[in-house]
Amino acid sequence: MEWWQALILGLVEGITEYLPVSSTGHLIIVSSLLGLGDPANPDHKAAIDAFNIVVQGGAILAVLGLYWPRVVQMLRGLTGKDPAGFRLMVNLFVAFLPAAFLGLLLHKWIEKHLFFTGPVVGALIVGGIYMMFIEQWRLGRFGRGPTRGIGGKGLGIEDITLGKALFIGLLQCFGLWPGTSRSMMTITGGIITGLRPSAAAEFSFLLGLPTLGAATVYSLYKNLSQAGKPITPTESNAVS
């Protein structure tokens, strides 16, 4: 991988990560257009797939900067000084668990069968249709729509219960399919449970901290520290 190819992939990641359009899916498509990740070369493809996951670490830093007050609130909750912060942290943990469990269980199958252009394009099409349907449902075009809460404006992030958090976490599992946007699924999950769109987006972005963080750390560990296996030149170029 050349530096300019890494730069292009970084720009794609930065633009798409927090839009409901699947950053991983777009990275896979752009990698293919750049001639990266040749399926006939397993080592090369594995390195590019690892890069496409690890590059999401930049998105973690962006969330930390944008939502630092929320992070501080959760840290204060750990010390018992902010009950609302502690509840938020617990809800994020509950929402994180389903994708963490399913990801560990199915990651080999996903990487073998879904990290290709065909499955990604199919997921992007289905995701676009789903997103349009949810928006029309939210506006009441297919019935009553979501519960609006007090004042009819929707619930806030402080109104999330463990059940709502678990539901959002279950929808996040669909984001394991490359091309299905994690943020799209978690934001719409929040809207379905009655959150106002801004609160659903905030919870989705905060949920990205443990989810993307775990994926990044696991990918680094798996690809670069395989029980002392030497790092190949392709892998070295991908992460440098």
DSSP state of 25: H
The pTM (predicted TM-score) of the whole model is 0.80
> In angstroms, what CA-CA distances link 27 with 22, 154, 177?
9, 34, 13
SS3 41: coil
The residue segments making up the domain with residue 85 are 3-239
Give the count of domains, the chain. 1
SS3 195: strand
Please say whether the beta carbons of 186 and 168 come within 8 A.
Answer: yes
SS3 55: coil
- Angle between helix axes 23-33 and 3-16 (nearest 10 degrees) is 150
Residues forming a β-bridge with 195 = 155
Q: Burial, 80: exposed, middle or buried (Cβ in 10 Å; 0-12, 13-18, 19+)? A: exposed
C-alpha span between 111 and 198 (Å, rounded): 33
Per-residue pLDDT of the chain (240 residues; tens, 9 = 90+): 787 888 888 888 888 877 888 888 888 888 888 887 666 566 666 667 667 677 777 778 888 888 999 999 999 999 999 999 999 999 999 999 999 999 999 988 998 888 888 999 999 999 999 999 988 888 777 666 665 554 457 899 999 999 999 999 999 999 999 889 999 999 999 999 999 999 999 999 999 999 988 888 887 777 666 545 544 443 333 333
Backbone angles phi, psi at 195, to 5 degrees: -70, 145
C-alpha span between 111 and 215 (Å, rounded): 13
